[in-house]
């Protein structure tokens, strides 16, 4: 029996929620079944909750927490983004407790296991790929104290571990790879995760600042495609494996029993690969009356209306699609192709169909793909703007980067670069606040381009790295909230979305937000805009970095959504014409009234939208969302009205008292706003 401590190293997740690493909980369950004594320590959770110092003392504090738990074996699980912190942590633990064996696993070490063993002496063993049985095989042997001692001595673990498939370890000071371990043929044989070792979903949600607790659930693994930027098929294999429908619903049942659980997060990357299997899981979930909501990830060319309806009925409420690009050439260049890049496949139509079914979508796109040109990027931004007005769609945009061994880095190694002050999208979350990648980790990354390829990016030809950085940080936030205003503003400037967004983001980042008022009449709005900008800047996280010339470079590391919207709105308000400003007023109102993910589709001023649909002003490629609900906020009270009805009544009844009598829930403010809207709409319609 071995006391093994499985640790999630400190990192910040980037999506505003946090969850335990499911892999570690699976491994713990197997270790327990096989007679060992596992425990679990989530340093990312402790960091998030403020139980660890968020400064240069972080790694030291983490190492002490590990040693205090008195494990006989330490298992660290890393994503590639958390690899530098993990290696730093391993060094510190080794310094404090030299005889403690340290195993590394997870998706971070994928394909660089030898380099890790060769260059990081604190790591004794790396588990390759799926490690459900591997860890326990190692623990069985490390139950022998002598095996533990020889392992950490660095000269060789004795011959016993060499017989365990799926490892890379040190033998005579050189990396040695044991026999490959095939992926598990039957996922039903994997032990259900030991959720009892982790804190509750409620605790995770509270640490993330409230909101809904989203916990991972492992219902399937693997992907039969081979997109060249993606590590999934390499890690999990090119065959798709699932839990049986009965076991899948058992997993939902165990999750549903956890304290505070709000939603299950299906970890499989290609969940709908086997359509019939998903239909069977959904039917079984409904049959058993499990109503836990869930979300999943898949390709957008692997869903259809019947499947979406069945998933929705079984509680699925959101799907993340890696759409990546609206250009077939770009998709083909990264082998994403398939039906998605084929003629006749219409991403927007699928998103609208999902929306009609009532299913929310997240549209993920990449920029900075080698070979991509300005038109390709513009096409992606237009796709995002189209998606943003489809009810239930949200957006995500990533700077293309490589993971070692996935083919891309091998093809174009010379073109990868590390830009000081700018971190690859993969590591977003580490750089904020500054200190997550401390100087030791930054040196590690800079000194080892092979191991840390994912921290480097391709420099595209269509923009400077800084522009790509600003775009990938903020474009999805802005397009999600202000799709119509941004389009209208671009149109008014006779420009496109790419140049318009770059202009706005550069102006904000440079602090050059307000040009002098053009005339006296414009002075007041400009002053208001300036005050708005100044206030918004207070909410922006700033950090001082040095660029490659050593000059201080104050970079906007991230604009919080509210700050991004306020800053850009203020700029548009300053520079846009009356029509653009009216539209901006609507979208700002949508954003500020309530939950933006709902409201931005909801409060479409219908006459304006009709004008837009008809292509009269400004031209839109596709129609807007259709739900017409007006939310209004009064202090903490949010009330919903049917906007079209309310506006229609306001139009029909010029007498405020009559209107209020017909709408008892409405207040004077609503009436005033409706009158303002109608006035603005008639101005817009008249001029369009
Ligand atoms: C859930 C998830 C998240 C969650 C939480 C992750 C967590 N705490 O574990 C959140 C949303 C926070 C997240 C964030 C990010 N994620 Co993520 N995420 C996933 C996802 C969808 C599921 C992970 C999972 O639970 N898998 C199922 C379990 C069973 O597998 P597993 O954890 O890998 O564990 C197995 C092995 O790795 C191994 N193992 C695991 N731990 C250990 C420990 C030891 C000691 C040993 C021996 C073995 C071992 O054994 C396990 C069982 O076989 C994966 C995709 C996927 N399908 O795996 C992406 C994935 C892990 N994420 C990825 C990325 C890129 C990110 C982000 C960088 C995204 C971004 N741009 O911000 C951030 C990074 C956050 C940060 N700052 O570090 C990549 C990682 C690529 C890589 N090679 O490392 C993946 C693979 C997606 C992809 N294909 O691009 N992510
Ligand atoms: S991007 Fe999606 S479809 Fe492509 S290999 Fe990765 S998981 Fe499979």
In a 3-state reduction of DSSP, which class is residue 42?
strand
Note the pLDDT of residue 590.
63
CA-closest residue to ligand 2 atom 4: 227
In a 3-state reduction of DSSP, which class is residue 620?
coil
Note the pLDDT of residue 652.
80
pTM of the model: 0.83
From 235, 300, 336, 339, give the residue whose CB has the most ligand 2 atoms within 8 Å, as the site to mutate.
Answer: 336
Four-CA torsion 57, 62, 67, 70, nearest 10 degrees: 160
Nearest to 215 by CA among 200, 232, 227: 200
> From ligand 1's centre to the CA of 107, what distance in Å?
6
Note the pLDDT of residue 620.
27
Tell whether ligand 1 has an atom less than 6 A from the beta carbon of residue 429: yes
CA-closest residue to ligand 2 atom 3: 225
- Rounded to an integer, what distance in angstroms lies between the CA atom of residue 276 and that of residue 270? 14
Greatest extent of the chain over all pairs of C-alpha atoms, in Å: 90
End-to-end CA distance of the chain: 77
Tell whether ligand 2 has an atom less than 6 A from the beta carbon of residue 232: yes
CA-closest residue to ligand 1 atom 47: 105
Tell whether ligand 2 has an atom less than 6 A from the beta carbon of residue 230: yes
Show the tokens assigned to 566: 């306020």
Closest ligand 2 atom number to CA of residue 324? 1
Residue 231 region by backbone torsions, left for phi larger than 0, else alpha for psi between -120 and 50, else beta: alpha
State the burial class of residue 447 (Cβ atoms within 10 Å of its Cβ: 0-12, 13-18, 19+). exposed
> From ligand 2's centre to the CA of 28, what distance in Å?
28
Strands (E) across 67-187 are located at 73-77, 102-105, 125-127, 167-171, 174-177
Tell whether ligand 1 has an atom less than 6 A from the beta carbon of residue 11: yes
Note the pLDDT of residue 631.
41
10-residue block means of pLDDT along the chain (688 residues)? 95 66 98 98 90 87 98 95 92 97 95 94 96 97 87 69 94 92 96 97 86 91 91 91 98 97 96 98 98 97 97 96 94 88 91 93 92 95 92 88 62 57 51 55 82 78 82 87 88 92 81 38 41 42 37 39 74 79 71 43 44 37 31 38 62 86 72 72 49
> From ligand 1's centre to the CA of 127, what distance in Å?
15
> From ligand 2's centre to the CA of 230, what distance in Å?
6
| Helix ranges restricted to H, 335-413 | 338-341, 347-357, 374-388, 408-411
Q: Kindly state the DSSP code that residue 163 receives in the 8-state scheme.
A: G
User: Contact 254/192 with Cβ under 8 angstroms?
Assistant: yes
- Rounded to an integer, what distance in angstroms lies between the CA atom of residue 250 and that of residue 480? 37
Tell whether ligand 2 has an atom less than 6 A from the beta carbon of residue 331: no
The ligand minimizing its distance to the Cα of 335 is 2
Note the pLDDT of residue 345.
92
Among all chains, which residue has been given the structure tokens 């370890």? 169
Tell whether ligand 2 has an atom less than 6 A from the beta carbon of residue 340: no
Tell whether ligand 2 has an atom less than 6 A from the beta carbon of residue 302: no
Report residue 283: phi and psi, to 5°.
-65, -40
> From ligand 2's centre to the CA of 365, what distance in Å?
13
Give strand pairing partners of 320: 297, 362
Note the pLDDT of residue 280.
98
CA-closest residue to ligand 1 atom 21: 267
Note the pLDDT of residue 545.
38
CB within 8 Å of 210: residues ≥ 6 apart: none
> From ligand 1's centre to the CA of 78, what distance in Å?
8
> From ligand 2's centre to the CA of 612, what distance in Å?
36
Note the pLDDT of residue 627.
26
CA-closest residue to ligand 1 atom 50: 131
- Rounded to an integer, what distance in angstroms lies between the CA atom of residue 416 and that of residue 418? 7
Helix axes 561-575, 483-492, angle to 10 degrees: 30
Residue 109 region by backbone torsions, left for phi larger than 0, else alpha for psi between -120 and 50, else beta: alpha
DSSP run (H or E) holding 318:
strand 316-324
Say how many C-beta atoms besides its own lie within 10 A of residue 586's C-beta: 22
Closest ligand 1 atom number to CA of residue 193? 29
Tell whether ligand 2 has an atom less than 6 A from the beta carbon of residue 92: no
Tell whether ligand 1 has an atom less than 6 A from the beta carbon of residue 24: yes
- Rounded to an integer, what distance in angstroms lies between the CA atom of residue 242 and that of residue 277? 8
Nearest to 390 by CA among 585, 620, 600: 600
User: Contact 272/303 with Cβ under 8 angstroms?
Assistant: yes
Tell whether ligand 2 has an atom less than 6 A from the beta carbon of residue 297: no
Q: Annotate 129-144 with DSSP letters as a single string.
A: S--TTHHHHHHHHHTS
The ligand minimizing its distance to the Cα of 240 is 2
> From ligand 1's centre to the CA of 265, what distance in Å?
12
- Rounded to an integer, what distance in angstroms lies between the CA atom of residue 492 and that of residue 504? 14
């Amino acid at each position: 029996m071995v006391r093994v401590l499985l640790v999630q190293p400190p990192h910040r997740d980037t999506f505003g929620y946090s969850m335990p690493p499911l892999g570690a909980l699976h491994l713990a369950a197997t270790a327990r079944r096989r007679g060992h004594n596992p425990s679990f320590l989530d340093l990312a959770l402790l960091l998030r909750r403020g139980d660890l110092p968020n400064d240069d003392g972080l790694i030291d504090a983490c190492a002490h927490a590990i040693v205090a738990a008195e494990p006989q074996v330490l298992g660290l699980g890393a994503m590639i983004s958390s690899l530098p912190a993990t290696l730093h942590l391993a060094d510190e633990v080794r310094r404090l407790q030299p005889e403690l064996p340290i195993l590394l696993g997870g998706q971070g070490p994928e394909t660089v296991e030898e380099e890790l063993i060769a260059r990081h002496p604190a790591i004794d063993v790396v588990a390759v790929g799926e490690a459900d049985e591997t860890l326990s095989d190692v623990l069985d042997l490390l139950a022998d104290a002598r095996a533990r001692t020889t392992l950490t001595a660095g000269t060789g673990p004795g011959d016993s571990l060499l017989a365990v498939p799926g490892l890379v370890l040190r033998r005579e000071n050189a990396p040695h790879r044991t026999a490959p371990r095939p992926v598990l043929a039957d996922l039903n044989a994997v032990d259900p995760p030991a959720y009892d070792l982790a804190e509750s979903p409620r605790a995770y949600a509270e640490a993330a600042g409230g909101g809904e607790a989203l916990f991972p659930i492992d219902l399937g693994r693997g992907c039969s495609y081979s997109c060249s930027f993606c590590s999934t098929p390499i890690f999990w294999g090119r065959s798709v494996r699932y839990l049986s429908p009965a076991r899948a619903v058992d997993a939902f049942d165990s999750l549903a029993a956890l304290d505070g659980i709000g939603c299950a997060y299906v970890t499989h990357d290609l969940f709908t690969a086997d359509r019939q299997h998903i239909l069977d899981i959904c039917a079984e979930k409904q049959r058993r009356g499990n109503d836990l909501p869930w979300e999943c990830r898949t390709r957008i060319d692997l869903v259809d209306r019947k499947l979406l309806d069945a998933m929705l009925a079984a509680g699925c409420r959101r799907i993340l699609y890696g759409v990546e690009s609206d250009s077939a050439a770009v998709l083909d260049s990264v082998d994403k192709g398939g039906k998605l890049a084929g003629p006749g496949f219409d991403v927007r139509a699928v998103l609208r169909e999902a929306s009609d079914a009532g299913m929310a979508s997240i549209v993920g796109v990449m920029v900075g793909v080698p070979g991509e040109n300005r038109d390709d990027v513009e096409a992606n931004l237009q796709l995002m703007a189209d998606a943003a007005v489809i009810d239930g769609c949200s957006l995500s945009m990533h700077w293309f980067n490589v993971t070692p061994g996935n083919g891309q880095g091998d093809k174009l190694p010379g073109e990868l670069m590390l830009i000081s002050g700018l971190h690859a999208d993969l590591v977003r979350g580490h750089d904020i606040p500054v200190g997550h990648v401390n100087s030791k980790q930054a040196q590690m990354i800079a000194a080892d381009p092979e191991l840390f390829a994912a921290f480097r990016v391709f420099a595209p030809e269509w923009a400077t790295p800084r522009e790509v950085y600003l775009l990938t940080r903020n474009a999805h936030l802005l397009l999600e909230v202000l799709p119509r205003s941004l389009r209208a503003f671009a149109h008014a400037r006779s420009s496109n979305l790419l140049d318009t967004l770059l202009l706005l983001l550069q102006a904000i980042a440079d602090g050059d937000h307000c040009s002098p008022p053009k005339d006296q009449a414009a002075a007041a709005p400009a002053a208001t805009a300036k005050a708005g900008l100044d206030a918004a800047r207070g909410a922006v996280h700033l950090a001082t970095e040095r660029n490659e010339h050593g000059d201080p470079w104050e970079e906007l590391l991230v604009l919080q959504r509210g700050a991004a919207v306020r800053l850009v709105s203020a700029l548009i308000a300053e520079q846009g014409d009356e029509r653009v400003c009216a539209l901006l007023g609507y979208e700002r109102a949508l954003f500020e009234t309530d939950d933006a993910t709902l409201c931005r589709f909801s409060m479409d001023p219908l006459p304006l939208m009709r004008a837009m649909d008809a292509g009269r002003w400004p031209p839109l490629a596709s129609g807007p969302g259709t739900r017409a609900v007006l939310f209004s906020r009064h202090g903490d009270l949010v009330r919903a009205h049917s906007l079209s009805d309310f506006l229609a009544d306001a139009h029909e009844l010029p007498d405020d008292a009559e209107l209020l009598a017909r709408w008892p829930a409405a207040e004077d403010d609503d009436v005033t706003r409706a009158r303002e809207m109608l006035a603005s709409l008639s101005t817009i319609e008249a001029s369009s």
